[in-house]
Chains A and B, each alone.
Chain A
Amino acid sequence: MTHDDGTPTENTATEDGQAAQTANGRAPSRRSLLGWGGAGLALGAVSAGGTAAALRTGDDARPAGADATAGSAIAFHGRHQAGIASAVQDRLHFASFDVTTDDRDELIALLKEWTKAAARMTAGDAVGGGAVGGLAEAPPDDTGEALGLPPSRLTLTFGIGPTLFEKDGKDRFGIKARRPEALIDLPQFPGDNLDKTRSGGDLCVQACADDPQVAVHAIRNLARIGFGKVAIRWSQLGFGKTSSTTPDAQTPRNMFGFKDGTHNLAGTDTAALDKHVWVADGEAKGKESWMAGGSYLVARRIRMHIETWDRTSLQEQEEIFGRNKGEGAPVGKKHERDTPHLKSMLPTAHVRLAHPDSNGGVRILRRGYSFTDGTDGLGRLDAGLFFLAYQRDVRQGFVPLQKRLAATDALNEYIQHVGSAVFAVPPGVRNADDWWGRALFA
């Protein structure tokens, strides 16, 4: 967009919405249309709570008040990007982009514009001059489908793929030397059946929100701003988070009906996050210093063979996972959070192979979502898990874990990895003058 409102709206992400509205004096924000802090917030809470209740009935119902903040805004600025350790929202729209320009300045200009739009959207404001009230002859700056919706805890998390540093042997933007060593090209794992058109990408944006409309709106507007500089390579919608970063909430279930992510890293466990997720200052030296406070993301589209799984006996299902289906308790235990006794499980049980104790204590932060993209033309549900995992170093995190799983996991009979991508996720945007990737291009 050529539009530039010239106001430091990024500040609004963590400030009171009404004040921000008055300050920038532009088109109405989503919040102001609703009445910030009033009906809008209540509406958001009610609808998100309603969704949660509909998804989890009976004993699984969330504790009252757990969704009280479901409609609110999550701070955009900070040391780390939001959307990693922050509480997992209900919905996802993940997009991978190819950079189509060869011009470094153009790419930088786009990243600045994206950051500005992201700060506005996560705060619940419309992009640029808004969706209404502009010139009658011109298409509006904002596409408008999120008008009237609360911020919905939208987070936009930005990542950089290996091909931005080097593609076909070419240093495209003069940053080849700054490619972090941890940003490897993932090896081929046994059983992978990767579709190139659903894999890789120069850049990615992970949009998570409690309302799918808000997540889709964000990606759509970023894509639109990017036309001519970037093109969407592939994207994935997700629902029903498959892991939680908030241990006191119910552990969600995956498409196989099992609780997943019981021992996922908690967003509040800063020591564990520092150890397993964030790139430390001391670790990111010299040419890699731009990654301090960042993380590495692995995205895998994992297709689940739903129909054959559903014809599998309960006993076999439970043995394959190493947990029971109802409670999620490990084999031989009563409660979900009881410490698993790995040796009681089958040697090929999923939980046994994935457990940190089987992997030298290494942990990853999972943030995946279920997906269902209709049917596949053969009448089978095109469904599965869109696996997202953050870690400090892919070489110690996902790679050894997946090597182990790909070799022996009993679940492999029912799943197939069909898409794959890896991204360096820079640290957070610090303030209104900062932008996605600034330290890399500095």
Chain B
Amino acid sequence: MRALRSSAVAAIAAATAVTSVAGCAAKNDGKGGGGKGTIEVTATDSSCELSAKEFPAGHVRFAVQNKGSKVTEVYVYAPGDRIVTERENIGPGTRTEITAEIKAGSYEIACKPGMKGDGIRQKVTASGKGASTKRDPKLDAAVAAYRKYVQEQADQTLPAAQKFADAVKDGDVEAAKKTYALSRVGWERTEPVAESFGDIDPKVDVRADGLEKGQKWTGWHKLEKSLWEEKKISGDDKKLADQLITDLKDWQKRVGKAEITPTSMANGAKELLDEVATGKVTGEEERYSHTDLLDFHANVEGAEKAYELLKPVVGKNDPALAKELDKQFKVIGELLDEHRDSKSADGFASYDTVGKSERKKLSDGVNALAEPLSKLAAAVATAK
């Protein structure tokens, strides 16, 4: 995991660099917000009124009043639906205050009566030094949709992981084995984003060789070893199962705040294939359970999702690249289909039964897809 984590960090650094390079246009028009830099937010069951839609960047206070009959919540979204700040559980008739450091740029404020859905949204602009990034709205839409996907994956992971954790806590080795790989799918599909939380990844997805000195081994792979290698569940493992759920809940809660840009999405897709190329195709990732093929499949699905969302832009900027990626995603999908096994718990053959020449074929397929995928970021970054 060590190398993977650093690549995720690099992607974020790259994404940041892109933002700062591009962001140099907006000017401070001097229009202030509400009294002394405070924005009044008035929420009802059907509206979300703001005292100002333009305000200076910097330390911003939102004074929220819920005049509706439902419990509401208020979110400040950066482009691509990144959560800048949010407050839940604002009861009917109550007031609350939210503060945030807001850089110059375009944002959306959402009130969510009943705490459901995308909310009632208002566009706002923070102006000042540093200025805003003007981006193709299609790319903003892609980022927002990808963020939604990432959130869905986290949301779906929790019940699957709970099933696995419950089996571990019951001391039921067989049931735990059957639910192990399935509990990882959502994580594997969105790994570059999941890994961007540097504190969660080493707790849930670290392998024995990735442990740093003094670090206690926790998470999926420790339990994997107990189940397949030691073939028994210890008292400590049961505690680890609870810990895994706690850590995954943390991920589920924070994933909306992840820094995602079109470039980081594209690089993330490539990184998912890098994951396959370095860890899965060799059988290192799931060295005890040999469930590598499901991880492999999930990584490819996640990469394909990112690509599909960026495709409206890529198809215009570099149609040849889009054509090649369409083809190679199809090829790798067919290659993986050859290894499906309806009798196995996770739907794929155990990787220790996949011979050397078959692994070579998979590896060639990964290279064939990953090479054009490495050009995706450029096709997005140069979007006009």
Contact residue among B14, B17, B357, B372 (Cβ-Cβ distance under 8 Å from A228): B372
Assess the B324–A137 pair: CB atoms within 8 A: no
Give the chain B neighbours of A98 by CB distance below 8 A: 364
Give the chain A neighbours of B318 by CB distance below 8 A: 2
Assess the A138–B375 pair: CB atoms within 8 A: yes
Give the chain A neighbours of B356 by CB distance below 8 A: 197
Residue of A nearest to B369 (CB): A228
Residue of B nearest to A98 (CB): B364
Residue of A nearest to B319 (CB): A2
Give the chain A neighbours of B14 by CB distance below 8 A: 136-137
Assess the B368–A100 pair: CB atoms within 8 A: yes
Interface string of B313-351 (1 = CB under 8 A from A): 000001011001000100000000000000000000000
Contact residue among A2, A138, A139 (Cβ-Cβ distance under 8 Å from B320): A2
Assess the A228–B367 pair: CB atoms within 8 A: yes
Assess the A2–B367 pair: CB atoms within 8 A: no
Assess the B364–A100 pair: CB atoms within 8 A: yes
**A231 interface contact, C-beta 8 A:** yes
Residue of A nearest to B318 (CB): A2
**A189 interface contact, C-beta 8 A:** no
**A227 interface contact, C-beta 8 A:** yes
Give the chain A neighbours of B369 by CB distance below 8 A: 228
Cα–Cα, bound, A135→B374 (Å): 12
Give the chain B neighbours of A229 by CB distance below 8 A: 368
Assess the B328–A228 pair: CB atoms within 8 A: yes
Q: Which of B80-111 contact A (CB under 8 A)?
A: none
**B353 interface contact, C-beta 8 A:** no
**A224 interface contact, C-beta 8 A:** yes
B270 to chain A, nearest CB (A): 9
Cα–Cα, bound, A228→B371 (Å): 8
Give the chain A neighbours of B378 by CB distance below 8 A: 135, 137-138
Give the chain A neighbours of B380 by CB distance below 8 A: 137
**B18 interface contact, C-beta 8 A:** yes
Assess the B374–A139 pair: CB atoms within 8 A: yes
Size band of the interface chain A makes with B: 10 to 19
Residue of A nearest to B377 (CB): A137
Assess the A136–B17 pair: CB atoms within 8 A: yes
Residue of B nearest to A232 (CB): B364
Cα–Cα, bound, A409→B321 (Å): 55
**B263 interface contact, C-beta 8 A:** yes
Give the chain B neighbours of A139 by CB distance below 8 A: 374-375
Most chain B CB inside 10 Å of its own CB: which residue of A98, A100, A135, A228 = A228
Assess the B367–A227 pair: CB atoms within 8 A: yes
Give the chain B neighbours of A224 by CB distance below 8 A: 371
A264 to chain B, nearest CB (A): 36
**B215 interface contact, C-beta 8 A:** no
**B381 interface contact, C-beta 8 A:** yes
Assess the A228–B375 pair: CB atoms within 8 A: no
Assess the B371–A137 pair: CB atoms within 8 A: no
Cα–Cα, bound, A165→B37 (Å): 76
Give the chain B neighbours of A137 by CB distance below 8 A: 14, 18, 263, 267, 377-378, 380-382
Assess the A228–B381 pair: CB atoms within 8 A: no
Cα–Cα, bound, A442→B382 (Å): 38
Interface string of B14-25 (1 = CB under 8 A from A): 100110000000
Assess the A231–B371 pair: CB atoms within 8 A: no
Give the chain A neighbours of B328 by CB distance below 8 A: 228
Give the chain A neighbours of B263 by CB distance below 8 A: 137
Cα–Cα, bound, A135→B377 (Å): 10
Residue of A nearest to B364 (CB): A231
Contact residue among B357, B360, B370, B381 (Cβ-Cβ distance under 8 Å from A135): B381
B95 to chain A, nearest CB (A): 45
B311 to chain A, nearest CB (A): 16
Give the chain A neighbours of B374 by CB distance below 8 A: 138-139
Residue of A nearest to B374 (CB): A139
A322 to chain B, nearest CB (A): 41
Assess the A228–B324 pair: CB atoms within 8 A: yes
Residue of B nearest to A3 (CB): B375
Assess the A138–B371 pair: CB atoms within 8 A: no
Assess the B364–A2 pair: CB atoms within 8 A: no
Residue of A nearest to B379 (CB): A138
Cα–Cα, bound, A138→B317 (Å): 14
Give the chain A neighbours of B372 by CB distance below 8 A: 2, 228
Q: Which of A246-299 contact B (CB under 8 A)?
A: none
Q: Which of B142-169 contact A (CB under 8 A)?
A: none
Most chain B CB inside 10 Å of its own CB: which residue of A2, A100, A229 = A2
Interface string of A168-203 (1 = CB under 8 A from B): 000000000000000000000000000001000000
Assess the B367–A138 pair: CB atoms within 8 A: no
B274 to chain A, nearest CB (A): 12
Give the chain B neighbours of A227 by CB distance below 8 A: 367-368, 370-371
Q: Which of A113-135 contact B (CB under 8 A)?
A: 135
Cα–Cα, bound, A197→B354 (Å): 17
Cα–Cα, bound, A229→B18 (Å): 32
Give the chain A neighbours of B381 by CB distance below 8 A: 135-138
Give the chain B neighbours of A138 by CB distance below 8 A: 374-375, 377-378, 381
A209 to chain B, nearest CB (A): 24
Q: Which of B162-208 contact A (CB under 8 A)?
A: none
Interface string of A210-233 (1 = CB under 8 A from B): 000000000000001001110100
B196 to chain A, nearest CB (A): 18
Give the chain A neighbours of B18 by CB distance below 8 A: 136-137
Residue of B nearest to A225 (CB): B371
Assess the A228–B382 pair: CB atoms within 8 A: no
Interface string of A1-34 (1 = CB under 8 A from B): 0100000000000000000000000000000000
Assess the A231–B377 pair: CB atoms within 8 A: no
Give the chain A neighbours of B368 by CB distance below 8 A: 100, 227-229, 231
Cα–Cα, bound, A228→B329 (Å): 11
Give the chain B neighbours of A135 by CB distance below 8 A: 378, 381-382
Assess the A2–B377 pair: CB atoms within 8 A: no
**Can you name 7 A-B pairs with beta carbons within 8 Å?**
A2-B375, A98-B364, A224-B371, A227-B368, A227-B371, A228-B371, A231-B364
- State the 10 A-B residue pairs at the shortest beta-carbon distance, nearest first: A138-B378, A228-B368, A231-B364, A137-B381, A227-B371, A137-B377, A227-B367, A135-B378, A139-B374, A2-B320
Besides the known contacts A137-B14, A137-B267, A229-B368, 10 further A-B residue pairs in the complex with CB atoms under 8 A apart? A2-B324, A2-B375, A98-B364, A136-B17, A136-B18, A137-B263, A137-B377, A138-B375, A227-B371, A231-B364
